[in-house]
Amino acid sequence: MVKGDVAAIAPLPRERLELVLRSLAASGTAAVCALDDFGTLAWARSLHPRVLVIPHQDAWADLVVGICTEMLARVAARERALRAERLAAESRNSATLGRYIIEMRHGFNNALTSLLGNAELLLMEPGVFPARVREQLKTMRAMALRMNQMMQRFNSLEAELQLAEGESPERTPPVVQRNVAT
């Protein structure tokens, strides 16, 4: 079924109506059916509860068109609502991840500062370590500096999250303030 399909069924003989209703039920298509025989009307309502069955009367075509229009509008509104809910959930997940990264940033920076500082202190003592160890210390220092650059990108993430949440960049959320101050 293509979303938003609605079938409008004019009065039909019961045998043909049964075939049409079965195929619509199998496809999941919503339907509005106008019937002039009250026995067939009751039969259709009992066997096909997803089909809106109305009595055939004067101006039935206008009624069916109005009902179909309303059904399509409701289907479209439901699809928009579901899409908005999905996008909101994705945004909440991304924001949660971003806030977690920002909160963890302080602890990570402390460990990174210790690593970088110790590597630089050890490199300042010439002749204490063999050349192979000094090269490893230089690699550790270089990687610590690289990690520091990555952490600087998280600072821009914090500003983006604040803008996304409607806050001014000068105002820091309480959770982030507490972590930065420790």
pLDDT band of residue 85 (cuts 50, 70, 90) is: very high
- Are 95 and 65 contained in the same domain? no
Percentage of the chain exceeding pLDDT 70: 86
One-letter amino acid of 14:
R
- Are 69 and 98 contained in the same domain? no
- Are 62 and 118 contained in the same domain? no
- Are 119 and 43 contained in the same domain? no
Residue pair 169/159 in contact (Cβ under 8 Å)? The answer is yes
Residue pair 147/71 in contact (Cβ under 8 Å)? The answer is no
Residue 4, pLDDT score:
59
- Are 92 and 126 contained in the same domain? yes
- Are 103 and 77 contained in the same domain? no
Residue 2, pLDDT score:
43
In Å, how far from its chain's centre is CA 25?
Answer: 31
Whether 81 has a pLDDT exceeding 90, the answer reads: yes
Number of domains, the chain:
2
- Are 78 and 91 contained in the same domain? no
- Are 21 and 74 contained in the same domain? yes
Query: Which has the closest alpha carbon to 158: 84, 101, 92, 110?
Result: 101
For tokens 């204490």, what's the residue? 128
* Whole-structure pTM value: 0.45
Residue 142, pLDDT score:
92
Helix or strand run (H / E) with residue 6 = strand 6-9
**CA atoms of 33 and 44, how far apart (whole Å):** 9
Residue 169's φ and ψ, nearest 5 degrees, are -60, -25
The pLDDT tens digits of the residues spanning 100-151 come to 877 888 788 888 888 888 888 988 988 888 999 999 999 999 998 898 888 8
* Residue 152 belongs to a domain: yes
- Are 90 and 173 contained in the same domain? yes
- Are 132 and 94 contained in the same domain? yes
* Residue 51 belongs to a domain: yes
Residue 80, pLDDT score:
94
Angle (CA) 133-135-140 rounded to 5° is 95
Fill in the DSSP letter of residue 8: E
**CA atoms of 111 and 116, how far apart (whole Å):** 9
**CA atoms of 176 and 98, how far apart (whole Å):** 11
What average pLDDT does range 13-30 have in this prediction? Answer: 83
In Å, how far from its chain's centre is CA 131?
Answer: 53
Whether 169 has a pLDDT exceeding 70, the answer reads: no
* Residue 1 belongs to a domain: no
**CA atoms of 110 and 98, how far apart (whole Å):** 19
Structural domain including 10 reads 6-85
* Residue 168 belongs to a domain: yes
Residue 135, pLDDT score:
92
* Residue 70 belongs to a domain: yes
Lowest pLDDT segment from 28-37, 83-92, 135-144: 28-37
